[in-house]
Structure 1
């Protein structure tokens, strides 16, 4: 009886030791970026819905924002606000309401295929409070290091970052990404992938924000399985595949 009790206590001790080690490893799975302390990405904007931060976006011009469709689809436009010229959540910056939110009919809310939206603002952002970003019409080669910025979680199941964050991630080939997501989610021709497995990735709250490759926006943060997981890269809307939709909207709403 005493021997059994000793054995149980030893097993319990081993369980707690291993459990602590495993938890520590999980807690280290942070999106490995760094804080942005200067307003050097003045094309970046925040989307707030009903007063709460929801997504990121980028300014294509002084009155047009590019973001993800899942950030705005089904939302009441009257409750949407765009915050520009700010790098902290506590700073409202320049605030604008949204006059039009355009989502392609090709968007699929179940698969997040064609996950893109263009917002036309109620009035222009002052010239001194922003810079516009140029879109990349060409597909980005795998291995290319790209910049992702946002206020998203700094670890899986975490909380939004009060300070804007930036991280550099290499593009993963679509074929490789499709293999990794096989049986989990569809990686379509309108998507691209990027991450440093287990170390660097975008996360919840970064949705809609830009992926910048060689000085141009090549992707929109869209979705992924968890954050910075070893197996699953982050998934982005491929700008080169949806550029025609964006161009059409901008011409329709000058």
Structure 2
């Protein structure tokens, strides 16, 4: 997991480091910053004292079909000017299987509803969450806020205890050390009865490969 910082040095989004020059995050989270990337950077969460473990952002790619505030194709690929250094920095493999109902996955984050209240620490927390059926998820979303869940996301059941709920913008959902989901919009730990919505990495492989191809031609 990495932290995406805006040009003013403040936390913007959480991200997942998947290759030397590529980070995945929520398109909804990064959208307010993507057209002003001067000084914006990505830094590793795990680090040793006095390590240089950050890299400046080169650009941000989002799918053409993405629309701000919607959860359809809510994924951004953040490209870096150079790899992130640091002895504790490592990549995460992309999920190779579809999320199965009732399977437990690990949600990682800080658990804040707003980073305007408190900046994230260097020590994120993690808790297990269970994958919900899309039918159950859609029913709950319609009941609470009328929001439609798209076919590029899947849902999980938040921990009933808000103190054990982590759902921060762009943060990862992990299964067997693979990245299966990215926190999307329309949920929070303020109301744990509403499911957590994650962009399904399996549904976004084609877009990620497209960006990889673009980068190979640029470089």
**Structure 1 length as normaliser, TM-score?**
0.73
RMSD: 2.7
Q: 1:53 to 1:157 in 2, by over 3 A?
A: closer
Cα offset, 1:127, TM superposition: 6.7
- Work out whether residues 202 and 221 of structure 1, in 8 Å CA contact, stay in contact via their aligned partners in 2: no
Cα offset, 1:161, TM superposition: 4.1
User: What is the aligned partner in structure 2 of residue 47 from structure 1?
Assistant: 4
**Is the partner of 1:128 in helix, strand or coil?**
coil
**Is the partner of 1:178 in helix, strand or coil?**
helix
**Is the partner of 1:223 in helix, strand or coil?**
coil
Question: Could you tell me how far apart the structure 1 residues matched to 2:157 and 2:119 are?
Answer: 19
User: What is the aligned partner in structure 2 of residue 179 from structure 1?
Assistant: 139
Q: Does 1:145 align with 2:104?
A: yes
Q: Does 1:196 align with 2:158?
A: yes
Q: How does 1:122-161 map to 2 (within 5 A)?
A: 122-126=81-85, 128-153=87-112, 159-161=118-120
User: What is the aligned partner in structure 1 of residue 78 from structure 2?
Assistant: 119
Give unmatched runs, 5+ long, in structure 1: 1-43
Cα offset, 1:107, TM superposition: 0.9
User: What is the aligned partner in structure 2 of residue 233 from structure 1?
Assistant: 195
Question: Could you tell me how far apart the structure 1 residues matched to 2:72 and 2:181 are?
Answer: 13
Q: 1:51 to 1:118 in 2, by over 3 A?
A: same
Cα offset, 1:150, TM superposition: 1.9
The structure in which a higher percent of residues are helix is: 1
- Work out whether residues 84 and 93 of structure 1, in 8 Å CA contact, stay in contact via their aligned partners in 2: no
Cα offset, 1:202, TM superposition: 2.7
Q: Does 1:62 align with 2:20?
A: yes
User: What is the aligned partner in structure 1 of residue 42 from structure 2?
Assistant: 82
Question: Could you tell me how far apart the structure 2 residues matched to 1:192 and 1:87 are?
Answer: 32
Q: 1:79 to 1:72 in 2, by over 3 A?
A: farther
Q: Deviations over 1:14-65 (max 9, x none)?
A: xxxxxxxxxxxxxxxxxxxxxxxxxxxxxx1001112111211011112110
Question: Could you tell me how far apart the structure 2 residues matched to 1:189 and 1:174 are?
Answer: 9
Cα offset, 1:214, TM superposition: 2.2
Q: Does 1:208 align with 2:170?
A: yes
> Any runs of at least 4 consecutive aligned residues in structure 1 with deviations exceeding 4 A, and if so which?
154-158
Give unmatched runs, 5+ long, in structure 2: none
Question: Could you tell me how far apart the structure 2 residues matched to 1:93 and 1:176 are?
Answer: 45
Cα offset, 1:217, TM superposition: 0.7
Larger radius of gyration: 1
